[in-house]
Amino acid sequence: AQSVTQLGSHVSVSEGALVLLRCNYSSSVPPYLFWYVQYPNQGLQLLLKYTSAATLVKGINGFEAEFKKSETSFHLTKPSAHMSDAAEYFCAVVHYGGSQGNLIFGKGTKLSVKP
């Protein structure tokens, strides 16, 4: 069965600092992976997705993620944090099996940005 693990439920960075949010996946087949962002009191919106076309995926708002099969990781990065990046971030993997095609979400990482 597929799963994702997000390391760190809370991450705090200073404005202008590097953002690194960690996601490790478990999958017996090549995975399809997503990062979603949730701003306070809103629904989720897609940041980026990995569908095996390229290992480095660029998303919206300057975020990118690199798929590393050897490390079973799909970490999200942004070179310079902005106050508007404060939100909760979810990693997700497509599930194979009985409910094939559905997403399985990690527990989320809340990002705080200090001025």
Partner 1 sequence: NAGVTQTPKFQVLKTGQSMTLQCAQDMNHNSMYWYRQDPGMGLRLIYYSASEGTTDKGEVPNGYNVSRLNKREFSLRLESAAPSQTSVYFCASSERRGLVGEQFFGPGTRLTVL
Applying CB under 8 A, which residues contact partner 1? 9, 32, 34, 36, 41-46, 49, 51, 90, 94, 99-103, 105-108
Q: Which is nearer to partner 1, 3 or 12 (CB)?
A: 3
User: Rounded to the nearest whole angstrom, what is the least distance from the CB of residue 46 to partner 1 in the complex?
Assistant: 5
Q: Which is nearer to partner 1, 17 or 105 (CB)?
A: 105
User: Rounded to the nearest whole angstrom, what is the least distance from the CB of residue 3 to partner 1 in the complex?
Assistant: 11
Whether the CB-CB separation of 76 and 21 falls below 8 Å is answered with: yes
Tokens encoding 22:
């960690």
SS3 at position 69: coil
Q: Which is nearer to partner 1, 14 or 45 (CB)?
A: 45
User: Rounded to the nearest whole angstrom, what is the least distance from the CB of residue 53 to partner 1 in the complex?
Assistant: 10
User: Rounded to the nearest whole angstrom, what is the least distance from the CB of residue 38 to partner 1 in the complex?
Assistant: 8
Q: Which is nearer to partner 1, 8 or 79 (CB)?
A: 8
Q: Please state, in angstroms and rounded to a whole number, the distance separating the CA atoms of residues 63 and 66.
A: 11
Strand positions, DSSP E, the chain: 3-7, 10-14, 19-26, 33-38, 44-50, 56-58, 64-68, 73-78, 87-94, 103-105, 109-114
